[in-house]
Structure 1
Amino acid sequence: MFVPRPHLCTLLRREQRRLQLLCAPPGFGKTQLLRHYLEPATNVVWLTLGGQPQTLQTCSAKLAEALGLSLQSSPEALLAWIERAGTLHLVFDDVPASMPAELNLWFDRLLALANPRLQVLVTCRRRPDWNLARLVLMGQLLELDARQLALRREESDALVSLLAPDSDTIIRQQLWQATAGWCAGLRLLLPAFVTQTYRPEQPHAVLVQYLERELLARLTEDQQQVLFGLAHLSKASAELCEQLWEGQGGARVFTQLNDCQALLIPLEHQPQWSCLIPAVAQALQERLPAAPLNRLRLRACQALSALGHLDDAIEQALRAEQPEVAASYMEGLWLTWILREQHLGRLMTWRERMAPHLLESSPRLIYLSAKALLFSGRLDEAQACLQQLSRFLPLPNPRRNQRLLANWQALFGTLHALRGDSEQARLHCQAACRHLNREDWLSILLCHCMLARDAMHRGELTEAQALLEQSLELARRQGSREAEVLVNSDRARLMMLQGHAHQAQSLLHSELEHMAGTRTVACPLRGRLLLQQAELSVQQGRLGEAEQRVHEGLVQVGDCCAPFVLSAYLLLAQIAAHGQAFDQAQLHLDEAERRMHWARIDRACYQRPIAEHRQRVQRLEREASAQRPESRSSVPDYQDGLTPREVSVLKLLAEGMSVREVGSRLFISVNTVKTHAKNINVKLGACRRTQAINSAKAMGILA
């Protein structure tokens, strides 16, 4: 099954070059793309080489047969015939990784023929050893690699919709993150995701078989060993590989793996660095035995630290069971690091794997832990962590002592704000700002943001705007994109309060566009922006769009950012209540409370907003009940014997939801939804879903 790639077909048609070269790993849809592109074309000659070794004679014989010429035609005669042929599209599908010199020379002569209507189209897994530089200079080469051929997010979702129409948003996001646009991986893993049998910690049998045949069989033993090691690294470069496998020529092997398209993908914004597609890495991890794996991790944490990649070094040190080494590396993390991607979740995971005394061994580690706990909503633990700073007081240097106290006040102000004590929060943040200096710019920024939120709560919008403008300038002068996103999130909130919904929407859209570079990486800040977009959509009555944004945001924020998770479920409850699905709204609030308990979140962070939303849902339900026509007031709500849950299921099915989406919305299994649907059909005397929906509408069960 092929998903149309109109942007690629348009590119191929627009750029009519002598050579159109599609060079990418197996499973990126190279062959299918060319077939789709050439469908309307005439005079197409297709030669499948299957990646198998070729000589000039064997290749010439295959081409002669495809052209309908004598099998005894010499290579020179073929070139002469092609030069006179006029319009001709020659396709060489799956060209082998290496070819003899005389065959490469023949291809160079083919590409240099005078026939202006000759086009050569090639798919391969390794860039051929032809005179491509000459074609580039002449403007006669169009080359597409894995970056261009990878599925876009919307194309990935479209393929999932074709293959598994009942798949929900979460499955689509998980597949996208696991496969990074790799078409073959998506198709191989989709059944396991749909049946919920995929386990990242276990190799997927079908995927392993595919990799054995399409990748490992083409690699040397040295290349395989390095590849198995790369499966345990979040990223790699030639320089890193040289240090890890210096006796085996690690840099050379890494370059070979990239050249032969071993499913390594370049990292956004990190030149020279690549990583294995996540699903491929997971499938290969068991190939490296325990002893060499542990040695690799110890070398990796040292090398990564030396290269400045501390978060990866920390992870390798912990996996090598060296928590003291991990703690020493954590000292070098910038405090803005916690705002990026899923770093908050990573830090909270590290905390679970390290002894408390290691995380309390310096003021810097205490600051880092306290910020993580505050952002995660674990306020009591954050307070206990902050109290550990007293062990370092007083410092012998008065200036450093004052800075330590000021940073403590900044964090303590944040703690009071999250507990709802705005007066104490304001006092601590204002006092902290008087003594913090440029080195503490992040603490200043957080204080300003807290003070701005307090001002918005009090209705002092002019004061809030001034504070946020100062914060924005500070973030920009420090060159921190993450801090700028954090401030702009609050600015969008202020615009909404000022009644400037269009400006808020434009700002949120702009920030999401800027963050599009890390498209396969989940990011809580992106999740926060998506949830704000959802809130705007609710205000404007676009409930379907709002619900989609909420689910996208939930995938981004993960489990550690409790305040964002809470906002998501409160929005889902609000959307359900607007649609008069009041029992469903209450279920969302129940789930919000469950998630807060599960994450050990302080009651102050969630109790009041959940209670307020429950009251709002109940009020809306009473108002809706009062507005029902009196003629129906004497008739039971479920006059046809449908239970309240069956009515909820029927309403969602009537909205066009799939069985899986209904289950996800109501927090019940797919089988339970199917059972409810079967009971509904029996009770309403229907054979199909559409009949049940029409009957329910006629009976007044559905509006």
Structure 2
Amino acid sequence: MTAMTHVPDRPGFLPRLSAHHLQRPRLTASLLESSARVRLICAPAGSGKSTLFTECLLQAPVECTVCWLPLAGMSMSVAVFCERLAQALGLAAVDESSLLYELARLSSPVWVFLDDYCRVEEPALDALLDRMLALASPAVTWWIGTRRRPPCNWPRLLLDDALYECESAALALSRGEIAQLLRHLSPAQADDVAGRILQRSGGWCAGVRILLMQKCDWSQKTLPQQRMDTLLDYLQHELFSGLSPELAEAWRVLAHLPRFNASLCDHLFGAGEGAQWMRTLQLLGCFIEPWQGSPDWLQVCTPLSRLMRDEPWSAGRSWHRRACQWFAAGQHWKCAFEQALLAEEYEVAVSLLQHFTFEHLFEEQTVVLLLRLYEQRGEELLLGSAQLVGLVTAALLFAGRFAQAADCIGQLSRFLPPPSAGQQRQLIARWQAQQGWLLHLQGHMGEAREHFEQALNDLSPQAWTARLLCLSGRTQQALLCGDLELAHSINREALCLARAEGSLLFEALLELDHAQLLEQRGASARAEELLANLCDMLDASVERPTPLLGRIALRRGRLALNMGQQDRASGLFQQGLDDCLRSFDKRVLYGFLGQAQLAADQGDYPQAFMRLRDAERLMQQRQIPDTVYRGVLLQVSSEFWLQQGRPELAREALSRVLRHYRGPRARQAPPATLELIPRIECLLILAEIRLGQAQQPMARLQNLLEYAHSSRMIALEAELLWVMSEVAWKLDEPESARGYFDSGRTLASHFNLQRLSMKFDQKALNLWPGSTLSAPLLEEGDNEGSLSLRESQVLGLIASGSSNQQIADTLFISLHTVKTHVRRIHAKLGVERRTHAVARARMLGLCR
């Protein structure tokens, strides 16, 4: 309840705002600007209804009479309500008819705030409220805050444009708003902590306030127990105290379920009665909301559900057992499997896995649940069936537990020989597919390729999931070898098969490989468009495919980082990090790496190295082999050391890690880091040249450049040219340095590699003071005459002699869009012809 204090310039007692209050004009502006005479906020406890109304009240016009009626959610008779309202308005009449008459004849503006309207159903009081709202007095504006939506004639008010309703979801605090409350932290730290608070609280105002009440070690992402006790006490007073014992127990049960509907509630609590209890809890505003926007399923809001699941619950096993029965009968296999695990019915859980396919691994928490079952009943799983062993193996490979995955693969021999030679070939082919992936992830390219190819020769059309996994592995190997044409060919074959089988999840997995291919070719914008469309399709799935969405977010974060969109990259890296942490994906590493690179770009090296240490700690905690993360961590660390002017550290680390990727027993780079080995070699040369110890640096860099150029690895080629310009300068070859510089910067600019372009601009300032090379990177709208990034790219291609159609093909945009850009370029440069535009741009230093 909001505190009360006397305000001298207004009659009665009015609320005040907390010292920790955060102004939210995005909400108050729409409420205050509305012309509707009824303004409604219906939301659960702790959503900030009273505070929002208080903000509006304090901005009421001077000539307006304000009436604040704190009802505290209590039930009351019509007579008591009329008496209290009349007293607040300063009216003598207290009976219903007289009060309605007085309200109808008011001539001066009055704002009536009904704060925390009656929380339980009161038919007589609800009917009175309906009659009062029906009075179309232009002088009276009603502000109603409630947890329960009273049964008034809302449709009529809405049609008459007399109702403005603030949606409950809009009341949630955003990440930016939470960051504003963390004034004691630096902006970067505040944003990071705000993201974690938002994840835990969902933006629920009371939850955010409780999380901020005491100091917490957010770097460890832990919460002190007393804070959880505070939240439980809050729920006891604000929720459970207003419910009957039966409803309170029903709410606790529902909070432990991933989702529920009327039929499940009938099964749990009794036919007819259960569904009614669910509807009652929903009407009372007990934090029940649609599950993932579904019209058929509900859930208790995630932060409270997570809290309740962390609390001891002695009666839990029996409720989970009954829920498992219902989910299994309805063929909701994943939910049934989860409930069986919570009920500690491990034999039932194992039996349910016969209904799982590899596509289930892409759904939220499936991998986590399988790992949990493997830890509890590993031996039983391996004795089940070949399909079951394959499923568990895939989960272990996904999580990076290669040693355990190898043990599982070895168990497939138990199922030999099968009844027929054909079945034996299929079983061996499945073994080869998974053994190939294990070897691929461990860095043994030759052996993995052999297994993939043999499996593809023997797998039957019915084993299309195994075939797709083999094709994905072969695509990644072709990318690692720099054979982009072969990678594209294999990827197209796999995508056609996935679409023919109608598997959106496998299609998304393969499109990730496609996006990586596009990124290598310099088509970052096209890769981003592909992944954005993919996200839209996956978001429509009934079960949220968290593992896939996490990987997509990380890939999009990398694309945004390379295109110089730091804010967007930060959000995507955080989303990918959160999703991968939840699904135990080993790719979580690249979320930490992305955040480290963002911090380093801002010059915050302590924060950058802290994120690298967080990544290493997590990898070790999850027992992921160091071959997955050690090389890329040392490569990124060395990049930071070179930026800090510590080449000796970089040389030592790079020399050590490069030995693992060169020689007769060399390993391939991890699949997610296609350019790892050439980047390590490039950084090592740079470290040696800065230490004055390099041997034939230009020849070694030229070999790397030829490899990057022949493989069409655009970003790597541009970065190598950047390094070659520095090395040539160090070797006192200024003309060569300028040539490499110009070639690299042109390449980076044409392919929208903004982050790399900024490195070129910095080098230009260091080596050639007064350079105008950064001019084309002005963003659109910076000033009227500047060229946008895309316009600069189009102008550069015009200067190179490209036609409009060639420009469209290079930039992956339509011909109409090219013509629009050309028209704008002519207008900004004040010319009419393409040749004049090029000449004018060269004179201004906008292109070379």
TM-score range for the pair, normalised by the shorter chain length: 0.7 to 0.9
Residue number in structure 2 paired with 1:109: 131
For residues 564-600 of structure 1, give each alpha carbon's deviation from its aligned partner in whole angstroms, at most 9, with x where no partner exists.
1333455566667777888887776665554433322
Cα distance in 1, alignment partners of residues 603 and 112 from structure 2: 61
1:400 to partner: Cα distance: 4.5
Residue type of the alignment partner of 2:43: A
Judge conservation of contact 2:179–2:190 (CA < 8 Å) in 1. no
2:228 pairs, out of 185, 204, 213, with 204
Alignment of 1:463-612 (within 5 A): 463-476=486-499, 478=501, 480-511=503-534, 523-540=546-563, 550-558=573-581, 561=584, 563-571=586-594, 592-610=615-633, 612=635
Cα distance in 2, alignment partners of residues 549 and 555 from structure 1: 10
For residues 72-102 of structure 1, give each alpha carbon's deviation from its aligned partner in whole angstroms, at most 9, with x where no partner exists.
3432233223223354433221110346544
Judge conservation of contact 2:452–2:470 (CA < 8 Å) in 1. yes
1:238 to partner: Cα distance: 2.1
Residue number in structure 1 paired with 2:257: 233
Alignment of 1:192-341 (within 5 A): 192=214, 194-195=216-217, 199=223, 204-246=228-270, 249-281=273-305, 284=308, 290=314, 292-341=315-364
Residue type of the alignment partner of 1:32: T
1:255 to partner: Cα distance: 1.6
Structure 2 CA distance for partners of 1:247 and 1:203, relative to 1, 3 Å: farther
Judge conservation of contact 1:222–1:248 (CA < 8 Å) in 2. no
1:32 pairs, out of 31, 48, 51, with 51
Structure 2 CA distance for partners of 1:303 and 1:431, relative to 1, 3 Å: same
1:481 to partner: Cα distance: 4.5
Structure 2 CA distance for partners of 1:528 and 1:612, relative to 1, 3 Å: same
Residue number in structure 2 paired with 1:56: 78
Cα distance in 2, alignment partners of residues 586 and 110 from structure 1: 63
Structure 2 CA distance for partners of 1:571 and 1:297, relative to 1, 3 Å: closer
Residue number in structure 2 paired with 1:95: 117
Judge conservation of contact 2:389–2:412 (CA < 8 Å) in 1. yes
SS in structure 2 at match of 1:127: coil
Judge conservation of contact 2:382–2:408 (CA < 8 Å) in 1. no
Judge conservation of contact 1:341–1:525 (CA < 8 Å) in 2. no
Judge conservation of contact 1:94–1:123 (CA < 8 Å) in 2. yes
1:228 to partner: Cα distance: 2.4
Cα distance in 2, alignment partners of residues 476 and 15 from structure 1: 49
Structure 2 CA distance for partners of 1:301 and 1:162, relative to 1, 3 Å: farther
Q: Give unmatched runs, 5+ long, in structure 2.
A: 1-19, 648-685, 692-848
Judge conservation of contact 1:132–1:141 (CA < 8 Å) in 2. yes
Moved more, 214-223 or 468-477: 468-477
Cα distance in 2, alignment partners of residues 14 and 402 from structure 1: 72
Cα distance in 2, alignment partners of residues 162 and 545 from structure 1: 23
Cα distance in 2, alignment partners of residues 333 and 382 from structure 1: 18
Moved more, 233-242 or 320-329: 233-242
Judge conservation of contact 2:546–2:583 (CA < 8 Å) in 1. no
SS in structure 2 at match of 1:331: helix
Judge conservation of contact 1:231–1:284 (CA < 8 Å) in 2. yes
SS in structure 2 at match of 1:349: helix
SS in structure 1 at match of 2:40: strand
Cα distance in 1, alignment partners of residues 605 and 270 from structure 2: 64
Judge conservation of contact 2:547–2:579 (CA < 8 Å) in 1. yes
Moved more, 609-618 or 447-456: 609-618
Q: Highest relative contact order (Cα 8 Å, sep 6+), 1 or 2?
A: 1
Cα distance in 2, alignment partners of residues 627 and 442 from structure 1: 50
Matched, 1:123 2:148: no
Structure 2 CA distance for partners of 1:239 and 1:201, relative to 1, 3 Å: farther
Residue type of the alignment partner of 1:261: G
Structure 2 CA distance for partners of 1:423 and 1:213, relative to 1, 3 Å: same
Judge conservation of contact 2:560–2:569 (CA < 8 Å) in 1. yes
Cα distance in 1, alignment partners of residues 246 and 99 from structure 2: 40
SS in structure 1 at match of 2:46: coil
Query: TM-score when scaled to structure 1?
Result: 0.78
SS in structure 1 at match of 2:182: helix
1:184 to partner: Cα distance: 0.6
Judge conservation of contact 1:178–1:277 (CA < 8 Å) in 2. no
1:372 to partner: Cα distance: 1.0
Cα distance in 2, alignment partners of residues 6 and 13 from structure 1: 10
Cα distance in 2, alignment partners of residues 302 and 187 from structure 1: 39
SS in structure 2 at match of 1:305: helix
For residues 10-64 of structure 1, give each alpha carbon's deviation from its aligned partner in whole angstroms, at most 9, with x where no partner exists.
5545764443322111011112223334554433433221111222222222222
Judge conservation of contact 2:175–2:191 (CA < 8 Å) in 1. no
Residue number in structure 2 paired with 1:84: 105
Cα distance in 2, alignment partners of residues 288 and 247 from structure 1: 28
Judge conservation of contact 1:324–1:358 (CA < 8 Å) in 2. no
Judge conservation of contact 2:68–2:115 (CA < 8 Å) in 1. yes
Judge conservation of contact 2:174–2:198 (CA < 8 Å) in 1. no
SS in structure 1 at match of 2:235: helix
Residue number in structure 2 paired with 1:21: 40
1:370 pairs, out of 393, 417, 438, with 393
Judge conservation of contact 2:359–2:505 (CA < 8 Å) in 1. yes
SS in structure 2 at match of 1:396: coil
Alignment of 1:615-634 (within 5 A): 621-622=646-647
Cα distance in 2, alignment partners of residues 303 and 200 from structure 1: 36
2:182 pairs, out of 152, 156, 161, with 161
Cα distance in 1, alignment partners of residues 377 and 484 from structure 2: 43
For residues 295-335 of structure 1, give each alpha carbon's deviation from its aligned partner in whole angstroms, at most 9, with x where no partner exists.
22221221222233333322332232221111111222232
Residue number in structure 1 paired with 2:467: 444
1:215 to partner: Cα distance: 0.8
Judge conservation of contact 1:200–1:282 (CA < 8 Å) in 2. no
Residue number in structure 2 paired with 1:453: 476
Residue type of the alignment partner of 1:80: Y
1:124 to partner: Cα distance: 0.9
Judge conservation of contact 2:400–2:625 (CA < 8 Å) in 1. yes
Judge conservation of contact 1:55–1:99 (CA < 8 Å) in 2. no
1:230 to partner: Cα distance: 2.5
Cα distance in 2, alignment partners of residues 138 and 624 from structure 1: 73
Structure 2 CA distance for partners of 1:190 and 1:332, relative to 1, 3 Å: farther
Moved more, 388-397 or 611-620: 611-620
Residue number in structure 1 paired with 2:6: none
SS in structure 1 at match of 2:355: coil
2:208 pairs, out of 161, 186, 189, with 186
For residues 404-424 of structure 1, give each alpha carbon's deviation from its aligned partner in whole angstroms, at most 9, with x where no partner exists.
333333222222221223333
Cα distance in 2, alignment partners of residues 615 and 285 from structure 1: 43
For residues 123-181 of structure 1, give each alpha carbon's deviation from its aligned partner in whole angstroms, at most 9, with x where no partner exists.
111111323344355554444453343334444x3355358778655643443233222
- From the CA coordinates, give the structure whose radius of gyration is larger: 2
For residues 449-504 of structure 1, give each alpha carbon's deviation from its aligned partner in whole angstroms, at most 9, with x where no partner exists.
22222222222223322333444454455554443432333222212210122323
Moved more, 195-204 or 356-365: 195-204
Structure 2 CA distance for partners of 1:574 and 1:105, relative to 1, 3 Å: closer
Residue type of the alignment partner of 1:108: D
1:557 to partner: Cα distance: 1.6
Cα distance in 2, alignment partners of residues 225 and 582 from structure 1: 51
Query: TM-score when scaled to structure 2?
Result: 0.66
Structure 2 CA distance for partners of 1:340 and 1:164, relative to 1, 3 Å: farther
